[in-house]
A = this chain, B = another copy of it.
């Protein structure tokens, strides 16, 4: 359950429909959304704005094609730290955030590693370079294990909204 706060909103079926439509297609016009959810444009836009204000709608983005941009290699990197101090973590996270190649970086449990990264680069040469000159040089990084994506079966930014009340 989300935390209660003044920005809390009750999300009814209509809001849920709006979110489902928009998270799948961000270029729908307000009129189209209104149509599909059975409202007139005016109240529909008000709901969208309210969802934005509440922070439920975070941002709109444009997704690009990896391969057509020459970014053919996606790597999953598991990284272990030598010492588990706040300073180590802070340094690592700040450094990693500087590299646009890093699409995801999670602190995780359940592995013999602390961080899991998803990195996108053109090819193996570039990956090798990135790993050796950037990742392994960050203070505290002690173990690195690389996996490579052979096939992208699912790659979505959509959240499952079925759990909403």
Contact = CB atoms under 8 A, between A and B. Distances in A.
Interface string A145-165: 111111111111111111110
Contact of A120 (B101, B145, B160): B160
A103 B96 CA distance: 23
Nearest to A145: B110
A107 B71 contact: no
B23 A104 contact: no
A27 interface: yes
Contact of A153 (B65, B93, B122): B93
- The complex is assembled from copies of this chain, and their number is 2
Interface string A114-129: 0110001110001000
A70 B110 contact: no
A149 B55 CA distance: 21
Contact of A62 (B23, B68, B69, B145): B23
B103 A157 contact: yes
30 contacts: A19-B64, A23-B61, A24-B61, A25-B59, A26-B61, A26-B62, A27-B59, A57-B62, A57-B63, A57-B64, A58-B62, A61-B158, A69-B161, A69-B163, A70-B164, A76-B108, A97-B153, A100-B158, A100-B161, A104-B155, A105-B153, A106-B149, A107-B153, A108-B147, A108-B148, A108-B149, A109-B148, A110-B147, A121-B163, A122-B163
